[in-house]
Amino acid sequence: MRGRLPSTSVRLAAVVGLSFLLGFALLGGLVYFTVSSLLYADAREVIRVDAAGLADVYQQGGEEALIAELRQRLAQPADADALYGLRRWPAGESLAGNIAALPRLTRAKPVWERLRVPADPTDANAGADDANVPSLLLRQRLGPNLELITGLRLRSESGFLALGIRTIWIALLLAAVLGVLLGGVIARWVSHRLRRIEDTVARVGEGDIDRRVISDGSGDAFDLLALRFNRMLDRIQVLLSGVREATDHIAHDLRTPLTRLRTRLEMLRADSPSSAAALEPAIAEVDQLLQSSQALLRLARVEAQPPASDDPLRDLEPLVRDAMELYEPIAAERGIRLGAQLEPVPVQGDADQLFQMLINLLDNAVKYSPAGQQVTVSLALDAGGARLEVADQGSGIPVEDRERVFDRFHRLEKHRGSPGTGLGLSLVRAIVLRHRGQIRLADNQPGLRVVVWLPRARG
């Protein structure tokens, strides 16, 4: 989960940032469209009023009066961006105005045109950049043979809209930055809230069943999730405690009668030497039951302990050498060689439990290795901790059974007749989990390779 959280946070930040940017883009586009519509509407109204005034001049004084009015306006312009033109229709002969050239008017009804009008060389008020400024023109018929053109160069409107576009781009840039920052803050907050649950899951998975997610009392979705998760852990803890207590009580209750039974069988064997051979299998069975009882009690104690975060520091190499020295006579008796590749590795943990883990692993390796083969133990410093491997050259364990062998009392069919309690690997896994480690079974080709990883001692 730790590997997935950053990518989830990045995606969340990207979604928030893009949403923020898209919102600003839509808002900027709406503002630009509204402002440009208002500006063009105002320009149309000014042109329409101007054209209506010129039409009145024509109606009252005829063509000569209109030409005189246009020349006066051009000589003393009230607006330097005003455009006028009077032409013969349909020949296009210019009678007055400051518009150099336009396509012929083909319709009798008034026509609005938005285009760039070249500057008239004879116009003293024309500017050098007039050809680059968009213009709005109203072209209409006056009488049977006249065309009146009234318009405006939209210099101020274009400048204002250009400023608006630049402002929108700057706003979009700021929106992108703010969106990324806001998305990062939200993603960081969500990751922080989820990290509490993730850390609790990791600690519970390591065996700290008492760990709970801290509630901040906010009552939001994350807080409700934390409370429900804690209730689930409480229920699991109650069930596990019931199973452990039942197992512990059974083991305790069986140990005393089994010990008494073994004592009586020993007394019968001593009193009746002739029945000693018949009593040996019964004593062996009782010993097996006593071993199972002791293993169950030991397993229950290990599982009930908190993680080994406060245990003392110790070097794992001497423990491995002691365990191998203990099993050397047993291995030699079975014709099995023990090999070692060890280096000093500091870990944090309980020496007795770590030694018990090593004894169980060596016992399995020696027990299931054929005579004349070798069991190899290696200990090395891995990237983040100690890597312990115990490899044999026996028949191995099928892939589909490699997880099930860690269950209590689970034994493979081919090994059911061999001595053992079926609790060895269960105890090994409990010890490994208590020490915040990991264990897995791999193929040794041939045989089985048990790989145990324990975190390196802090400091």
Task: Determine the CATH number of domain 8-120+130-158.
Answer: 3.30.450
> By percentage, how much of the chain surpasses pLDDT 90?
3
Residue-level pLDDT at 256: 65
- Is there a common fold for 8-120+130-158 and 313-455? no
CATH classification (class only), 207-306: mainly alpha
The answer, yes or no, to whether residue 324 has pLDDT greater than 60, is yes
| Most trustworthy range by pLDDT among 105-109, 243-247, 426-430 | 426-430
The answer, yes or no, to whether residue 6 has pLDDT greater than 60, is no
Q: Which pTM was predicted?
A: 0.48
Predicted confidence band at 76 (pLDDT cuts at 50, 70, 90)?
A: confident
Q: How far is CA 309 from CA 145, 204, 306, 451, 456, in A?
A: 103, 14, 8, 21, 11
Question: How much is the average pLDDT of 198-218?
Answer: 75
Q: 349-354 contacts: CB < 8 A, separation 24 or more? A: 349/308, 349/311, 349/314, 349/435, 349/454, 350/308, 350/311, 350/435, 351/314, 351/319, 353/302, 353/431, 353/434, 353/435, 354/314, 354/316, 354/319, 354/431, 354/435
Which of 3.40.50.300, 3.40.50.1100, 3.30.565.10, 3.40.50.2000 is the CATH number of 313-455?
Answer: 3.30.565.10
Q: Over the stretch 23-52, which tens digit does the pLDDT of each residue have?
A: 878 888 888 888 888 888 888 999 899 889
Question: How much is the average pLDDT of 413-419?
Answer: 53
Return the domain boundaries, the chain. Answer: 8-120+130-158, 207-306, 313-455
Q: Over the stretch 90-120, which tens digit does the pLDDT of each residue have?
A: 777 888 888 877 777 767 788 888 887 766 6
Residue 29 structure tokens = 């586009």
For residue 376, which phi and psi values (nearest 5 degrees)? -115, 130
Predicted confidence band at 293 (pLDDT cuts at 50, 70, 90)?
A: low
Q: Over the stretch 138-192, which tens digit does the pLDDT of each residue have?
A: 888 887 788 888 988 888 878 888 888 888 888 888 877 887 787 778 777 777 7
